Amino acid sequence: MRKINFSPGPSALPETVLKRLQEGVFDYNGAGVGIFELGHRTKLFMGLVDETKDRLLKLIGASSSKYEVLFLTGGATQMFSVVPLNINTKVEKSAGYLVSGHWAKVALAEAQKFREVVAISSSESNGFKTLPEQNLDYSKYSYVHITSNNTIFGTQIKDTPKTADVPLVCDASSDILSREVKVDEFGMIYAGAQKNLGTAGVTIVIIRRDLIDANLSGLSTSLNLETYAKSNSLHNTPPVSAIVSVHEMLKWIEEEGGVSAIEERNTKKANLLYDSIDSSSAFSGYAEKEARSKMNITFKAQTEELEQNFIKFCESKNIIGLAGHRSVGGLRASLYNAITLEDVSTLVNHIKEFDAKNS
Amino acid sequence: MRKINFSPGPSALPETVLKRLQEGVFDYNGAGVGIFELGHRTKLFMGLVDETKDRLLKLIGASSSKYEVLFLTGGATQMFSVVPLNINTKVEKSAGYLVSGHWAKVALAEAQKFREVVAISSSESNGFKTLPEQNLDYSKYSYVHITSNNTIFGTQIKDTPKTADVPLVCDASSDILSREVKVDEFGMIYAGAQKNLGTAGVTIVIIRRDLIDANLSGLSTSLNLETYAKSNSLHNTPPVSAIVSVHEMLKWIEEEGGVSAIEERNTKKANLLYDSIDSSSAFSGYAEKEARSKMNITFKAQTEELEQNFIKFCESKNIIGLAGHRSVGGLRASLYNAITLEDVSTLVNHIKEFDAKNS
């Protein structure tokens, strides 16, 4: 039996997408072979790569003459190396990192292996319950790196920092295509697919074409963005079935009305859950209200025991994925694109029931 | 309708494996979520990782006290960097590469970015139709790298070079678990999963534990083998569904009788096809007989036109994947583990029919 899955990622996919993937296991779109067997140099797959790129650019509102889409592997972790090794490496300025959470810190530490890097501002002293100062002078950096949504602490940078001519690089692993953004404000957006865009195993990169450096030497082929740009991400065998999952997920987002419709629903979902937490006696939110994420709703109960009881109570109702990250504890519900308003209503009803019993 | 798929990879999977994957799209083994949604920190998946490692070591005949199994991404291409950046980097000797084909050359060129590397021997002057000289003194190298099976040219190193104390590193992307090997002769074996072991998106590494260097600094986290060793390959989100495919494929190999039974069948398949090519008038083999691969059977017809006609003839009979690699042309049938003796018989019948008409 299917469970309602509020996991932080890998996370739930829409049933429409699962149905299409399931139908494609033995024979995908008449290829005579399934999604797990599909050759990357077949006409079908090469067409699918082009279509996926076009669809992504269209959904996010980027022009294909200005931006390129690349498919990598290794997740955001690999991108933490790829970014400092590829972006404006010949500009003799420090790279600047906004430190808004755990992964932002990890990204900064990885970049320090390869070049001069500074933490522009940080909210660590507030336990990452707030966002770092963003109204700053960015002109002295070679690029600026932000993590738009902080999965562990449940905060989200809703107003993109204005970095003017300095390329803004964004790890959007946990909120890509969950809301509308002005793409032109970004030099590069990257994301693991496994939260809002598909299954684990493929990393999506949207990058301004002028930031792809064709003259990097001595760099591992697999970490060099030009490898992917000049081969249409087919330099070697890509993660075919994971890319198919992204393709099907993008089609679904289109069918649902595009990113504006998805954002509207995500806002409703988050408001519904935050309201129920705020009006309960047993629970309270973790992040400061103005910093709250619409993707990862972090909250806590009065005691750890109560939190464990709530998790068990929900599991008995076929709801999973509510434990907070092991580094901070507490509770967390991740409301990525595939989570329905009905799923959230069900959770809210259980919160009310649990609250009535325990307060 | 399913086609018989002789593609060089990504390639066919057994119907038993496809059935299990298909059943798992909505709910994998009672998790309440499917293979594309399964969390990497769930008990189910962490258990599956352990089980997959155990099964692989058992099937290949390696002791878990001596060898570790790691799951990476980025395919063999990424391993071409990972190997020189990780293996015996403090040993002040050149790394030695046996150059037996295209991918062996690419591996060597990539390694040269990072350290002193020499081509120990090469068969390039013979158009890679033969194998390079292997009866050599390997003592002067920090490690020796071979490509056990050459997918493009259709040759295979059947007798593993004896490198004594020098670690032998083997790219076994196109013949891992297709035949029995003496694992103790290898320091490291790596392979993309998409030919004999599962779907594209995960790279399998079997490595002697003492070769994992815990003191590498300045290296990208994602290229450092210790990252994977110390986290049981769960440092960040791994390619979950691709690992599930490997898990199911290994179970299938076990059920089929293990590697010795698989090897016996692979030998029969290859002999059947080579015999039909050798006894035909229209076709002839590409590689020299003593170097022939049991995995990729490369052959040609008297003219390119005839080759194209043969490919079209087979496509009309629902057989695909027979074109040679774009760099060498000709014909190629890849007989990986999932290809049945019946599939090969069908191809052989078409070869006979085509031969009778065209000679």
Q: What is the pLDDT of residues B65-112, one digit of tens each?
A: 999 999 999 999 999 999 999 999 999 999 999 999 999 999 999 999
- Tell me the pLDDT band of B230, cut-offs 50, 70 and 90: very high
C-alpha–C-alpha distance, residues B315 and B312, integer Å: 5
Interface of B with A in 158-187 (CB under 8 A): none
pLDDT at A327: 85
Which residue of chain A has the CA closest to B217?
A: A113
Query: By the CB < 8 Å criterion, does A324 face chain B?
Result: no
pLDDT at B224: 98
Q: How many CB atoms lie within 10 A of CB A285?
A: 17
- Tell me the pLDDT band of A359, cut-offs 50, 70 and 90: confident
* Catalytic site residue from A53, A175, A195, A300: A195
Q: Is the pLDDT of residue A326 over 90?
A: no
- Say yes or no for a CB contact (<8 Å) between B39 and A221: no
Which residue of chain A has the CA closest to B203?
A: A239
Q: Which amino acid is at A184?
A: D
Q: Measured between CA atoms, how close is B35 to chain A, in angstroms?
A: 9
* Catalytic site residue from B53, B175, B195, B252: B195
C-alpha–C-alpha distance, residues A62 and A177, integer Å: 12
Q: What percent of chain A lies above the pLDDT cut of 90?
A: 98
- Tell me the pLDDT band of A328, cut-offs 50, 70 and 90: confident
Q: Is the pLDDT of residue B347 over 90?
A: yes
- Say yes or no for a CB contact (<8 Å) between B22 and A26: yes
Which residue of chain A has the CA closest to B38?
A: A10
Residue labelled with tokens 């308003």: A341
Q: What percent of chain B lies above the pLDDT cut of 90?
A: 98
* Catalytic site residue from B103, B252, B269, B300: B103
C-alpha–C-alpha distance, residues B229 and B86, integer Å: 12
Q: What is the mean pLDDT of residues A315-335?
A: 95
Interface of B with A in 244-263 (CB under 8 A): 245
Query: By the CB < 8 Å criterion, does A202 face chain B?
Result: yes
Q: Is the pTM of this model over 0.95?
A: yes
pLDDT at A174: 97
C-alpha–C-alpha distance, residues B321 and B54, integer Å: 33
| Among candidate residues A3, A237, A35, the one with its CA nearest the CA of residue B17 | A35
- Say yes or no for a CB contact (<8 Å) between B39 and A219: no
A184 in catalytic set: no
ipTM: 0.98
Give the three-class secondary structure for B332.
strand
Q: What is the mean pLDDT of residues A60-79?
A: 98
Query: By the CB < 8 Å criterion, does A109 face chain B?
Result: no
| Among candidate residues B209, B148, B151, the one with its CA nearest the CA of residue B180 | B148
- Tell me the pLDDT band of A275, cut-offs 50, 70 and 90: very high
Q: What is the mean pLDDT of residues B174-184?
A: 98
| Residues A119-173: tens digit of each pLDDT | 999 999 999 999 999 999 999 999 999 999 999 999 999 999 999 999 999 999 9
Say if residues B299 and B278 touch (Cβ distance below 8 Å): no
Q: How many CB atoms lie within 10 A of CB B210?
A: 9
The sign of the dihedral angle between the CA atoms of A317, A320, A324, A327 is: positive
With a CB cutoff of 8 Å and minimum separation 6, the contacts of A263 are A178, A179, A180
Q: Which amino acid is at A120?
A: I
- Say yes or no for a CB contact (<8 Å) between A245 and B36: yes
Say if residues A169 and A83 touch (Cβ distance below 8 Å): yes
Residue labelled with tokens 């392979």: B191
Give the three-class secondary structure for A101.
coil
B195 in catalytic set: yes
Q: What is the mean pLDDT of residues A195-220?
A: 97
Instruction: Give the C-alpha distances (Å, rounded to integers) separating A215 from A175, A209, B4, B55.
Output: 32, 14, 43, 44
Largest Cα span, chain A: 65
Which residue of chain A has the CA closest to B192?
A: A237
| Among candidate residues B359, B38, B57, B341, the one with its CA nearest the CA of residue B186 | B57
| Residues A103-120: tens digit of each pLDDT | 999 999 999 999 999 999
Per-chain mean pLDDT for chain B? 97
Tokens of B216: 């590498």
Binning chain B into helix, strand and coil, the percentages to the nearest 5 are: 40, 20, 45
Exposed, middle or buried: residue B189 (CB in 10 Å: 0-12, 13-18, 19+)? buried
- Say yes or no for a CB contact (<8 Å) between B220 and A85: yes
C-alpha–C-alpha distance, residues A122 and A100, integer Å: 6
A275 in catalytic set: no
Exposed, middle or buried: residue A299 (CB in 10 Å: 0-12, 13-18, 19+)? buried
Say if residues B227 and B221 touch (Cβ distance below 8 Å): yes
Residues of chain A found within 8 Å of residue B192, distances taken between Cβ atoms: 237
Give the N- to C-terminal CA distance of chain B in Å, as an integer. Answer: 32
C-alpha–C-alpha distance, residues A27 and B170, integer Å: 34
- Tell me the pLDDT band of B327, cut-offs 50, 70 and 90: confident
